[in-house]
Amino acid sequence: MKGRLVAAVGATIAVGGCASWWYSPPSKEATMAVIKSSFHDRGLAKVDRLNQTELQAVCSDTHNNPPKDVRERLEKAALAAVKYPSDGKWLGDYKLGERIAQTGVGLQWSDKPGAPAGGNCYACHQLSKEEISYGNIGPSLYRYGIFRGNSEQTLRYTWAKIWNTHSFNACSSMPRFGDAGILTEAQIKDVMALLLDPNSPVNQ
């Protein structure tokens, strides 16, 4: 009886091992085809959002850890494509910027075409001390302007970070607010003011 049990267990392991050995995961193309078949265009949300840029594909394939030379090349290309303010003016209205930071709507299927999107900044960052509900996926931005100042270098860095965060971190999870057309130039100026205007609640 004991010998039969050992034989049965051995056969089960052998069959399981063979099954595992013969398993072949689906290709990337086949997987994407299945994913795309589960979605359809609806309002502003289009299936083409599933199409990855080269940068996104690299980050996906490397689990957000691309080789150093690849990362540097992608960041350099992202930074070179940043569109800085067309009129040379960096700051807008910090009060409007606060509203943008508090607003999470935009580019969803239920949104009306042409309706302004929000930044939903508080979902990932602390900004003002008055707001007690905020995420911590990103660093705290409280007193951002006090710590960084308002030099030309700071202005250009902050703008580029908002426009396309991949300029400084290829695999960042922060949205590409300007590059992806989420926020307008005027809205980015307002968010810039929220971060850098000395009268902004961020800098109190």
Give residue limits of the domains in the chain: 1-30, 39-204
Residue 5: per-residue pLDDT: 47
Residue 40: per-residue pLDDT: 87
* Cβ count within 10 A of residue 53: 14
Rg (C-alpha) for the chain, rounded Å, is: 24
Residue 97: per-residue pLDDT: 98
Q: Which two tokens stand for residue 71?
A: 């990362």
Residue 49: per-residue pLDDT: 85
Domain at 39-204, CATH from 3.90.1300.10, 1.10.3720.10, 3.40.50.1240, 1.10.760.10: 1.10.760.10
Q: How far apart are CA 68 and CA 2, in angstroms?
A: 58
Q: What is the mean pLDDT of the chain?
A: 89
Residue 9: per-residue pLDDT: 47
**Which residue positions in the chain have pLDDT lower than 50?**
2, 5-7, 9, 13-14
**H-helix or E-strand containing 145?**
helix 144-148
Residue 17: per-residue pLDDT: 53
Quote the pTM value.
0.83
Residue 136: per-residue pLDDT: 94
